[in-house]
Each structure stands twice: as C-alpha cells, then as structure tokens.
Amino acid sequence: MTALPQPFADWFAARGWSPHPHQLALLEADGDSLLIAPTGGGKTLAGFLPSLVELAGSGAGLHTLYVSPLKALAADIRRNLSVPIEEMSLPVRVEDRTGDTASHTRRRQRVDPPDILLTTPESLALMLSYPEAPKIFANLRRVVIDEIHALAEGKRGDQLMLGLARLRTLAPGLSVTGLSATVEDAGALAAFMGGARVIRADPGPAPDVALLPTMALPPWAGGNGHYAAPDVMRAIEGARMTMVFINTRAQAELFFQKLWEVNTANLPIGLHHGSLGREARGRVEAAMAAGELRAVVCTGSLDLGIDWGDVDLVIQVGAPKAVKRLVQRIGRANHRYDQPSRARLVPANRFEWLECLAALDAVAEGDLDGEPRPDGPLDVLCQHILLTACAGPFDDYTLFGEVRRAGPYANLSRAEFDACLDFCVTGGYALKAYDRWQRLMLRGGLWQLRDPRAARDLRLNVGTIVAPETLSVRRRSRGGAPIGEIEESFAASLSPGDTFLIGGKVVRFDRLRETVVEVSDAGGREPKIAVFNGLKMATTVALAGRVQAMIGASHAALPAPLADWLDLQGRISALPAPGCLVAETFPRGDRWYLCLYGFAGRNAHQTLALLLTRRMEEANLGPLGFIVTDYALLIWSLDPVEDVAALLSPEDLRAGLDAWLADNALMKRSFRAVATVAGLIQRNLPGRRKSGRQVTFSSDILYDTLRRHDPGHLLLEATRRAAQHGLVDYGRIEEMLRANPRVIHAKAPHVTPLAAPMLLEAGRVAIRGAGEERLIAAEAARLMAEAGLDALDGTEIVAAQGFGGAA
C-alpha cells in the first residue's frame, strides 16, 4: 500500500487521525475511480488527497477541477480544504467559481486559473464554451465529481459527462474521481462516468432504523402525518439534533406548524424547503452548522449538502417512496464513521404503513431500488453542440467520437447525432426555411457560428435545469421583504382573501402585481390552501412491487390492524398480488366507481387515469372525476365499466396516448423544458421578466405549431422520450401491463376496504368535457355580475359605464 508522503503523514498524525483504507486506495489508483462511501467517511478529503500530494510538488496552471451539484458545497469545500493547505503550508491556490462569482473574478480566472477550481456543472459548461478553454484546461490533471449519484439522476449529469468528454480531449491523461453515496448499481454509475474502477469504503455499522412508536394509529388516508406530531416532538427532545424529512413543501409547512403547537419546551426548530427565499434557507443552514437548532423540518432540499456532524436522528414522515433515497437520508444522521445512523419512519396513512414496512425489509436486505438510466437526452446534446461552437470551429466526425465517449451517449447513433447537429444548423425542420440564416456554417470543413455575436445568447441559456416559472411572495407592508417563491400556476389559482402557508406563517393573498404576489399576515388562522404545485415523486417500481407482494402474501406477520384490513378486503373483493392486476367496480350513491390497483406510482396512475377517462367518455360512461395515489387509481362515473380488460388493452391505450398528447399540459411542460435546453427558446432569466413587458411568447405556441406542421421534429421526439419517465411516466404503464398479465375484475357490492381510503384522499381531478372555455365563460359572467352588468348586452355596457365617447 502506498504510504502517505511525509508532510501528509505528519499532518494526519498531528490530528490523531489515520487515513482510511479507501483514502489510500484512491491515492494509489491509476486512471478513473468511483468511490462509494457513506457520508462522513472522509470522502471529500479522499477525493482531494491525490491532488494535494501532487500539488505539493507544485504544478502549473489549473490542476484539479472539483464539480458539485450545489454552489454551497463548493464554498464549504473551499473552507475545509484551506485547513490542510494552510497547516501544511502547501503552495496551493483554491478558488470557487459558480453563478455567484463576481464577473471580474471569472474573467481573471480565465487568464490566471487557480490550482484547484471548485465549480458546478453549469459553470463548467460555460467555461468550456470560451475560446480560451483549451488553454485553461491544458494542464488539468484531475477532476473530482462530488455527489455523482445525485447528478446522475438528471440532465445535469448528462451535461457534465459531455463536458468531461470535452475535458478528456483538451487534457489527455486526465484522471477522474467520482464520489458517491450508496447506490444500487455501482457498475452502472461507473459506466455513466465512461468507465471507472469502483472503490468501496467500509460501509460502517448497519443503521438503526425502525418505525417511530406513536400513540395513535396512522389514519386511513392523507399524507401529512399530523397524528404523530407529539411523538416526533418527544423524539426530538431525546436527540441532539434531528432532521425531519417530509415529502412535499406544503406538507413540510403544515407539519412544522403542528410541531410548534406541541413544542412546549420551546426548542429551536427550523424549516427548510425550496420555496423559501434564499436568505431564509441560508439562515437555517447557518444555524444548523453552528449547532443552534435542535431540529429542522425539511424536504429534499437538504438531501445533499454540507455534513452536519451533530445530527444524530433522522425522521422520515410519510412514505419513503424510494429505498435508495431513504438509505441516503438515513446516512445524514451520525456522520461519524464508526457509529450507526439512527432513523425512524412515520407512515402518514395505512398504505404508507405497508410501504414503510416494505422499505424496512429492503433496507435490512440491502436491496436498493433504482431504475436503469435512460440514454442521454438529445436536447442536452443540442445545447452541447451549440456551446462547443461558441468555443471555436469543430468537425462533426471528431465531435461525434468525443460525444460517444461520454457514458450517457455511448449508444448514440450517428443518425441521432446528425439530427441534433441539423437542429443546431438549420432548426431541423421538414420545411427548409433557413438556408440563408443557418445558425452554424460549414467553412473549410469545420462547423462554426455564422454570427459570432450569437455566442452571448447561447451562453446565457447554459444549463439543463428548467424550473417552473415562479413568482416572489412579499408582504405588502413592512418594506415588502421577500418571504419565498410560489409557482405561477399556484399563484394563478389564488383569489384575494385566500390564505396559504409559507415560511411557517399563514398569509393572506391580496393581489398579484406583475411578478410579485402581495400578501399580508393572516394571524395564526388555519390556512385555506397549503398546496404548492411541484413535482411529487412517485414510489419506485421495486418498493411498490414489495407493497403489492406484501398485500398478496400471508398477513400473519403484519401488525394486527393491517392484517385485519387486508383480510377483510380478501373476503369482500380481491387482493392484489404480483402478476395480477386487480380492478374493482362498485356502486356508491348514484355513482359507479372503478378502482385499479396498478402499483405504478402516482405519475403513471395520473396518466393512466386521464387515458381511461377519455376512453370512458368515448364509451358514454360519463366519467366525472378521478384520484390517484402511488398504489391505485379511482375513477367515478355515471355508468359502470363492464369490461375492464378491454378498457386496459395496451394497443388502444397507446393509440389514445398519441391523441391525448396533442393537447396536454404535462406534455407542454415537458416540451418547454426540452425546447429551453435545446436553445429553441431563451430561458427567462431573473430580472429579464421584471424589466418591462414580456416579449417572449409561450412555448405552447411552438408546441402547437410543430405538432401541426412538423410532427416528426427532433424536439417532439425528445419530448416523447421524456414522457416515458417523469411527469407522464408512460413507460411504467407499459411495465405494469406487462408484469401483471392477469386482470381480475372484482364486482363488489359496495365500497371495499382498500378503496375506502382512496375516497378520503385529497386531490380529486374533475373531468371537463369542454373545460377551459366553460371556465372562462363562468369567470367573465361572475365578474360582470359583480359589477352589476350581467343583465346588459355588449352594446349597452359601454354606454352604461358612461364612457361611450363624445359622439
């Protein structure tokens, strides 16, 4: 085993440390490595150790690039690295470069880069787009990618891997180290990096994870877990510092409020989620780092980030949804390497009780779930090609080879690459319209920007995160300090006087002024609404499958309330089990209900419900509405469904999907993201929207135009591919039908034990035949009535108002 060079060995010894075996393994590693280590394993130092050792012998120019998904992490690492560097007097300059870095610093870094640069995938893509890129990166020896498991989950990872392929061309001989939390398939993650040797750190002791004992049983339905607030409070009182994870922002707001109602000891408890203002989040993070908080209620917003050594308890309120994420969250507790992490689960309802038990089994078996990563998306490749052109001329043959060396694009065909290139050059339309104004021109066998000034706009569009449009929330009085942000569609649904929760306070919506939602304090009253839209994660295939299996097997080992519930279901109707899809129909009041236990996750169920209600509408069954959970979907209608198997025919569903895609808000949302990443529409930068009028037009117009005139267009194809996962999640419907070939139609006399909780769930979706027009007509009529104008026709309105003009 390679020994540490002397100054490093002394430094470790002075601190009473000895290097972990995986730290030494990385030091002696040749080529690319992927280090799988739990949090607190000295993972980051391990990643930097080889760089520091090499740099101690002094290098020239940029030696090591560190990429992390979080800006805050880059800043934190800089502080952490300064300790060994200063104490060993290493001649090493470390700087960070993110969206927050001042422009003069960024300019200087382009001319005089530090030895170690800490950055994000977006800032790296930007740096690679400058003509100076070959010079900046010529001496680059190492790249360290932190939290690579998180980056690999989305398009940011695809972009980063394309950037890495570029770096390998600019700096041959580069070594890449990926740092990852525990994942289900290290080999796949290594392949994502383009191939790497996997080094596993000692995973440490098995976690201590169990259900949190509660005074009351979980309720039948709902997702907020309020029944357990006193029990969670007691657990917080018994721990040093607790992270309470909860699945959505609205639930976090509500649970935070409930927790304070029972916080008799007045313990300092904070709230952290993505809709809070950056300052508010920063304050909570700083208070945690300083050990001033006893607990923080948070969402996925704290899944990543700085290690807080003091956290000794993690509580997950609500369904864990994914075993892998649960394990990673559990790892947030006890960052000390040699102690077990302690975590407690709090199911919010009976189905989630099953899911929590299933998740505990999976954790104990080390059976992490995860879906295979789809191939690299084409919109990201389009952006990469355009940004590559910003840096300088390229030839397509070389670039194709380089792109194929990026893990996510290893299977890219030349035809797909050419389609992306054609999109960048001519727009890729069937109708050739831009021969004169190609974005890229072929000169001397090399592709380059026709108009070099275009580089500025392309650089402004860098990145793959397309957030929903948000509006800032401000108090009307008190100087109007920003409280947080809400999605535009949520803001649009508010009427003056509506109250909602944000930042732990109930506020009243006063008005929407341009891009600001003005609110006033509404005291401690119950909020009318606490829903921020936002993506709800679906339970993974593997975990939902375990729940399905648990329901279908013997219930002897289950807690009595669960066993009784499922046994009753078996007597009245049918029990879902692996391989068979159970559908129930039953009457209730003057409605007929269809409950389908698909176990395909809420997104796929929502898509399926939309497709099924459409087909029911065609069959004149009078569908009126539906509701979905991760486990099932429930549709109510005027007439009963008689032939469930026919309704579920895959061919008809697929045909229906195509038609339905024509005008669907989810698809338009996916298209907007694809079109933005590919550079068809310029992203709305903060500030740009505020300045004057909105000159940009809605991406929906482009979607409709393409659907009508150019249905084979690359971006529609990319949108269809995106619809296989995520919001539309069509792939899981296909998988559900494939994995459950037997369809059981149970005709129950009345509502069944499994379906009853569905009736209590919030979030019903009404089916509207001629939807929007009717809504608009109703609102216009209401406004006219409010103004006392409803009895008058158009001609008289103006005259009655007294502004009929001078004539």
Handedness of CA 570, 571, 574, 579 (dihedral sign): positive
Tell the smallest beta-carbon distance from residue 775 to other proteins (Å): 4
Mark residues 596-615: x for contact with other proteins by CB under 8 A, - for none: --------------------
Does 775 sit near other proteins (CB under 8 A)? Answer: yes
Does 174 sit near other proteins (CB under 8 A)? Answer: no
Distance of CA 729 to the CA centre of its chain: 14
Does 690 sit near other proteins (CB under 8 A)? Answer: no
Residue of 178, 204, 427, 463 interacting with other proteins (CB under 8 A) = 427
Q: Decide whether 396 or 487 has the Cβ nearer to other proteins.
A: 487
Does 778 sit near other proteins (CB under 8 A)? Answer: yes
SS3 66: strand
Tell the smallest beta-carbon distance from residue 416 to other proteins (Å): 19
Q: What is the gyration radius of the CA atoms in the chain, in angstroms?
A: 28
Does 433 sit near other proteins (CB under 8 A)? Answer: yes
Does 807 sit near other proteins (CB under 8 A)? Answer: yes
Does 779 sit near other proteins (CB under 8 A)? Answer: yes
Give the contacts of 233 (CB within 8 A, at least 6 positions apart): 259, 262, 263
Residue of 102, 215, 338, 453 interacting with other proteins (CB under 8 A) = 453
Does 441 sit near other proteins (CB under 8 A)? Answer: no
Distance of CA 343 to the CA centre of its chain: 23
Residues near other proteins (CB under 8 A), total: 63
Handedness of CA 765, 770, 772, 777 (dihedral sign): negative
Residue 122, CA atoms < 13 Å, CB-side half-sphere? 17
Handedness of CA 244, 246, 250, 254 (dihedral sign): negative
Q: Which two tokens stand for residue 72?
A: 């805050």
Tell the smallest beta-carbon distance from residue 698 to other proteins (Å): 7
Q: Decide whether 618 or 793 has the Cβ nearer to other proteins.
A: 793
Q: Decide whether 654 or 709 has the Cβ nearer to other proteins.
A: 709
Which one-letter amino acid corresponds to residue 306? Answer: I
Query: Considering only residues 284-343, where is the footprint of other proteins by CB under 8 A?
Result: none
Q: Decide whether 448 or 724 has the Cβ nearer to other proteins.
A: 448
Does 709 sit near other proteins (CB under 8 A)? Answer: yes
Does 765 sit near other proteins (CB under 8 A)? Answer: no
| Region near other proteins per CB under 8 A, out of 167-175, 335-343, 530-538, 708-716 | 708-716
Does 724 sit near other proteins (CB under 8 A)? Answer: no
Handedness of CA 328, 329, 331, 335 (dihedral sign): positive
Query: Using an 8 Å Cβ cutoff, are 544 and 729 in contact?
Result: no
Does 695 sit near other proteins (CB under 8 A)? Answer: yes
Give the contacts of 373 (CB within 8 A, at least 6 positions apart): 152, 188, 192, 408
Residue of 79, 83, 437, 760 interacting with other proteins (CB under 8 A) = 437
Query: Considering only residues 493-512, where is the footprint of other proteins by CB under 8 A?
Result: 493, 512
| Region near other proteins per CB under 8 A, out of 152-160, 233-241, 451-459, 614-622 | 451-459
Helices (H), 517-593: 541-552, 560-572
Nearest partner of 246 among 530, 604, 474, judged by Cα:
530
Does 173 sit near other proteins (CB under 8 A)? Answer: no
Phi, psi of 511 (to 5 degrees): -165, 165
Terminal alpha carbon distance of the chain: 98
Residue of 11, 12, 337, 429 interacting with other proteins (CB under 8 A) = 429
∠ at Cα 121 (64, 85), nearest 5°? 30
Does 790 sit near other proteins (CB under 8 A)? Answer: no
Which one-letter amino acid corresponds to residue 47? Answer: G
SS3 529: strand
Distance CA 573, CA 140 (A): 65
Q: Decide whether 128 or 425 has the Cβ nearer to other proteins.
A: 425
Tell the smallest beta-carbon distance from residue 253 to other proteins (Å): 22
Tell the smallest beta-carbon distance from residue 783 to other proteins (Å): 4
Residue of 2, 58, 620, 801 interacting with other proteins (CB under 8 A) = 801
Does 789 sit near other proteins (CB under 8 A)? Answer: yes
Give the contacts of 606 (CB within 8 A, at least 6 positions apart): 628, 633, 765
Residue of 191, 454, 624, 765 interacting with other proteins (CB under 8 A) = 454
Does 101 sit near other proteins (CB under 8 A)? Answer: no
Residue of 22, 294, 439, 508 interacting with other proteins (CB under 8 A) = 439
Does 459 sit near other proteins (CB under 8 A)? Answer: no
Does 791 sit near other proteins (CB under 8 A)? Answer: no
Secondary structure of 108-148 as H, E, C letters: HHHHCCCCEEEECHHHHHHHHCCCCHHHHHCCCCEEEECCH
Q: Name 175's bridge partners.
A: 142
| Region near other proteins per CB under 8 A, out of 87-95, 342-350, 369-377, 443-451 | 443-451
Distance CA 801, CA 604 (A): 51
Specify the pairing of strand 470-475 against strand 482-487. Answer: antiparallel
Specify the pairing of strand 242-246 against strand 295-298. Answer: parallel
Distance CA 109, CA 381 (A): 27
Q: Which two tokens stand for residue 637?
A: 């209608």
Q: Decide whether 77 or 458 has the Cβ nearer to other proteins.
A: 458
Query: Using an 8 Å Cβ cutoff, are 205 and 338 in contact?
Result: yes
Does 784 sit near other proteins (CB under 8 A)? Answer: yes
**Residue 773, Cβ neighbours under 10 Å: how many?**
9
Query: Considering only residues 654-683, where is the footprint of other proteins by CB under 8 A?
Result: 679-682
| Region near other proteins per CB under 8 A, out of 123-131, 195-203, 355-363, 783-791 | 783-791
| Region near other proteins per CB under 8 A, out of 428-436, 462-470, 501-509, 529-537 | 428-436
Mark residues 387-426: x for contact with other proteins by CB under 8 A, - for none: ---------------------------------------x
Q: Let me know if 749 is exposed, middle or buried by CB neighbors in 10 A (0-12, 13-18, 19+).
A: exposed
Residue of 57, 523, 749, 794 interacting with other proteins (CB under 8 A) = 794
Nearest partner of 190 among 221, 160, 134, 149, judged by Cα:
149
Handedness of CA 462, 463, 466, 469 (dihedral sign): negative
Q: Decide whether 457 or 526 has the Cβ nearer to other proteins.
A: 457
Does 517 sit near other proteins (CB under 8 A)? Answer: no
Residue of 450, 467, 499, 677 interacting with other proteins (CB under 8 A) = 450
Q: Decide whether 454 or 739 has the Cβ nearer to other proteins.
A: 454
Query: Considering only residues 475-494, where is the footprint of other proteins by CB under 8 A?
Result: 489, 492-493
Tell the smallest beta-carbon distance from residue 784 to other proteins (Å): 6
Does 693 sit near other proteins (CB under 8 A)? Answer: yes
Does 457 sit near other proteins (CB under 8 A)? Answer: yes
Tell the smallest beta-carbon distance from residue 804 to other proteins (Å): 5
Query: Using an 8 Å Cβ cutoff, are 361 and 546 in contact?
Result: yes
Question: What's the count of helices (H) and strands (E) in the chain, helices before strands?
Answer: 32, 26
Which helix (H) or strand (E) element contains residue 585?
strand 580-588
∠ at Cα 555 (549, 561), nearest 5°? 115
Does 451 sit near other proteins (CB under 8 A)? Answer: yes
Which helix (H) or strand (E) element contains residue 420?
helix 414-426
Distance CA 621, CA 636 (A): 10
| Region near other proteins per CB under 8 A, out of 348-356, 387-395, 613-621, 770-778 | 770-778
Binding residues for other proteins, rule: CB under 8 A, are: 426-427, 429, 431, 433-434, 436-437, 439, 449-451, 453-454, 457, 489, 492-493, 512-514, 679-682, 693-698, 701-702, 705-706, 708-710, 713, 772-773, 775-780, 783-784, 787, 789, 793-795, 797-799, 801, 803-807
